[in-house]
Structure 1
Amino acid sequence: MISINQTIAQYCKARKDINDDLIALGIPHNDNIVGRIGEYYASQYFISKGKTVIFASKPNEEGFDFKIDHMRYSVKTITAENNVGSTSPLKLNKRWGYLVAVKLDSDFNLMALSVVPYKKVKIYLDENSRKQNKAPSKSKLFRWWKFLDKSNTYIREC
């Protein structure tokens, strides 16, 4: 049986290998490996469509993750291992034009990807806030919202 120390060592090596590979691909460095994996899948989706993806040099400061033809994209990722159902806040600040929502399975493989214009995201979230008798806010914890499954740009990769 593998000891917890061996498991931790294997995990650390895998994180380092993932980090090194993502840096080699030009995906900016931060400690959010899950988010960076989502950015990788999102970028590969667009590259497969013949698009040129340019990553933000400092995504946390710039408010978006990458650009395609001068349009800014914000990527949010959620995994099957997420028991809470939500993750870091989605900033509704108009610094991005499209949300790329990425859903990963328990093995961190791409399960689903949805690309939605900022305006549609904002309308949906504002309507949802009003239904709950809450004022619209400038950020929302990201969840895999039902409208992501209804988007005409929804891509299922399972």
Structure 2
Amino acid sequence: MSDIEIQEGIEEYLKARKNVLALGRKYPDRIGGNDNIIGRIGEFIALRFLESIGQNPQMVEHSSNPGFDLLEGETQTQVKVITSENRKGRNVRLKKPWNQFLLIELGEQYKPERIGVLTEAQHQKALNENNWSKSPIVKLTMLGPKGLIGRYGKIYAKNELSI
């Protein structure tokens, strides 16, 4: 019967969600945050990615810090994740006070397909050269060759990621 299969799937999902929340309480400096599990996973991926390229960010103390999620000295990193579930490939607006932006694309297996990095200086150059919004809606098209990060930032493809 389909109802039993659905109920089992729901219970498995809720158990996994509970486990991630428990990990957040146990390791708040690595996977803490609010109840947005994909957001927590994205921030964890971002931590590991930034560490792999020589940075040493820390999670911010408050789970709903506006404008950035990770901090290292003066570097305030905003992390956004778009999964393959998101058919429109859109997220929320990118709002300051970030000065480094990471956009993570998670594929069907929920593993990073691409990670885009954009600094505030690169964003300012893009604004100077184009009639683009200072607080754009985050979209997967940003990672394309004509997109904000594709043109002005750096894109790391799946085979370049060691996380």
TM-score clears 0.5? yes
For 1:143, which of 139, 143, 148 is the aligned residue?
A: 139
TM superposition score normalised by structure 2: 0.78
Consecutive unaligned residues of structure 2, counting only runs of 5 or more, are none
Consecutive unaligned residues of structure 1, counting only runs of 5 or more, are 130-135
Cα offset, 1:84, TM superposition: 1.9
Question: Across the two proteins, how many residue pairs are aligned to each other?
Answer: 149
Match of 2:98 in 1: 96
Cα offset, 1:141, TM superposition: 2.2
User: Partners of 1:87 and 1:46 in 2: how far apart?
Assistant: 22
Matched, 1:73 2:77: yes
Cα offset, 1:151, TM superposition: 5.0
Cα offset, 1:123, TM superposition: 4.9
Match of 1:41 in 2: 45
* Matched-pair identity in %: 26
2:158 corresponds to which letter in structure 1?
E
1:149 corresponds to which letter in structure 2?
G
Matched, 1:63 2:59: no
CA distance 1:119–1:31, change in 2 (3 Å): same
Matches within 5 A, 1:118-129: 118-124=120-126, 127-129=130-132
User: Partners of 1:90 and 1:25 in 2: how far apart?
Assistant: 24
Calculate the aligned-residue CA RMSD, in Å: 2.4
User: Partners of 1:31 and 1:123 in 2: how far apart?
Assistant: 35
TM superposition score normalised by structure 1: 0.80
Runs of 4+ in structure 1 off by over 4 angstroms are none
CA distance 1:98–1:12, change in 2 (3 Å): same
| Contact map agreement 2:34 2:64 (CA 8 A) in 1 | no
